[in-house]
Copies of this chain bind each other. A is one copy, B any other.
Amino acid sequence: MHRFFVSEELIQGDNIFFPADLAHQISRVLRLNEGARVIVLDNSGTEREVELHSFAKRSVQGTVRAQRPTEREPRTHLTLYMALLKGKKLDWVFQKGTELGVSRFVPLLTRRSVVGSLQSLGDVKLDRWEAIAREAAEQSGRGRLPQIVEPQLLEVALGEVRASAALPLIAWEQERSKSLKEALHPVDGSRPTRVALFVGPEGGFEENEVLSAQAYGAIPVSLGPRILRAETAMVAAATAILYELGDWEC
């Protein structure tokens, strides 16, 4: 069944009001008809099975037929702190990261990030990233939209993580002894439920950025002997973390 995230005010009791853009998607793109069912999500962790009716040119309505908790959200809350990259490479990380189960994305401004001004990044990109993540969340069956925040300076993000309960990891190609697997299994035998993963830009983090991250408590980890492109490292490390912590179990 097709899935749609809608804003709360469109859900009134058992009645759902699809606005023009979704009505177009439903009747023109997907060619659904009266009586068809879709899943409506309000980003609260609940999904509603909805029967469609009252097709009009610029609106469609629906009636809730069943309601249940969503089942496909990962147990691990993973925040991906990812350096800004050239071109559209981050678009791809938002898409793949959302499918795989990232809960929160924080674009980072690092020393080697090649970007214009923070200003120029502004609203346009955030809107585009949110649209990409929404589509990926609908397609992959997620119950919640990942949160996407405005680009931050590395130091600000490190401060935020120190104040949280997340296990902070920083991928570093010069780390030679600590593997990701080792870092994900603290010696006390506990299983992390919140992870904050930092991945650098093309050319990596500068050494003093890693030292600074360590001062904030972050653990440098190796992603293995092969040198991954920045965007590959982001997606592959997110994959391995969710896999290792049990979020690929059936």
Query: Residues on A close to B: CB < 8 A?
Result: 71-72, 74, 96, 99-101, 139-142, 175-181, 222-229, 232, 235-236, 239-240, 242-244, 247-250
Contact = CB atoms under 8 A, between A and B. Distances in A.
Given A240-B239, A240-B240, A243-B243, A226 B99 contact: yes
Chain A at the B interface: SS class: loop
A77 to B, nearest CB: 15
A99 B225 contact: no
Contact of A239 (B239, B247, B249): B239
A225 B239 contact: no
- Counted per complex, copies of this chain come to 2
A99 B229 contact: yes
A249 B181 contact: yes
A229 B181 contact: no
A72 B226 contact: yes
Contact of A99 (B228, B242, B244, B250): B228
A142 B249 contact: no
Nearest to A224: B248
Contacts of A141: 225-227
A244 B246 CA distance: 12
